[in-house]
Amino acid sequence: MTRHHTINAVISVLLGAILLAAACFAILQAISWNWSGVWAYREVFWRGWLNTIWISAAALVLSVVLGLLAALGRRAPYPALRWLSTGYVELIRGTPLLVQLLILFYVVADAVGLQNRYTAGIGILATFSGAYIAEMIRAGIESVGKSQLESARAIGLTRWQTYRHVIFPQAIRHIVPPLAGQAASIIKDSSLLSILGIEEFTLAAQQVNSATYSTLESYLPLAIGYLALTLPVSLLARYLEHKYRYET
């Protein structure tokens, strides 16, 4: 009976895939393509794609630093530092990135005289991602058993030595997989920086679409380009997850 249900499920999936492929093929056949017009703007796509890479990389490094500080701040013995860290995490996670971009760039950055769009965009993106990374790091730290922390104190390890030799080596295997997923999210979230006029990948596609009026031809390379960036990150996450796995 189970085998019969399995065969039916496989057949249903195959039929669904065939019907979907046929529908997509029919739709694509009906479209009048204008790849030659879009190809003329290949340098715009390339420049935007490269900008997305270094913007995302810079934001990831900065967000890890912010996340680590916020996670440690939430575990600090000082109430003011705990409240500040908790407020930062809850405020950022509770509001959309688009709203933060508009407020932090057009209000805060303008008030402090920060005119560089790239610096402001990377800082805002890192601030947003850092709140989520802080929770990942905090969860990884709290996954370490209290008995091990008590043993570390019993043998005279300082707070820093406990984190370095006891907590972080064990917490890393819980932190790495979601951290890699957050790296992929940063790459995709960087597309919102286009509203600030930052010349990244999404803005490049919008510019090509405005110049050629070829919407599908402009945004298909956009989707493929983001997939080319996020897929290796996912594969790296699986490798690191396997590397840091050990018997408990």
The answer as to whether 115 is a domain residue is yes
The CATH code of the domain that includes 70 is 1.10.3720.10
Residue 157: Cβ within 10 Å count = 16
Tell me the residue length of the chain: 248
Q: How many domains does the chain have?
A: 2
* 173-218 pLDDT per residue, tens: 778 878 888 898 999 999 999 999 899 999 999 999 998 888 888 8
Given a contact cutoff of 8 angstroms between Cβ atoms, the answer to whether 196 and 221 are in contact is no
Planar angle of CA 209, 232, 139, nearest 5 degrees: 110
The answer as to whether 248 is a domain residue is no
pLDDT of residue 248: 47
48 and 25, same structural domain? Answer: no
From first to last of its 248 residues, the chain has per-residue pLDDT tens of 456 666 776 677 778 878 877 776 676 666 677 788 888 899 999 999 999 999 999 999 999 999 999 998 988 888 889 999 999 999 999 999 999 999 999 999 988 888 899 999 999 999 999 999 999 988 887 777 666 666 767 677 776 677 666 777 777 777 887 888 889 899 999 999 999 989 999 999 999 999 888 888 889 999 999 999 998 888 887 777 777 665 44
User: Domain of 195?
Assistant: 39-243
83 and 11, same structural domain? Answer: no
192 and 91, same structural domain? Answer: yes
195 and 139, same structural domain? Answer: yes
pLDDT of residue 54: 96
* DSSP 3-state of 129: helix
48 and 13, same structural domain? Answer: no
The answer as to whether 82 is a domain residue is yes
52 and 25, same structural domain? Answer: no
* 211-226 pLDDT per residue, tens: 888 888 889 999 999 9
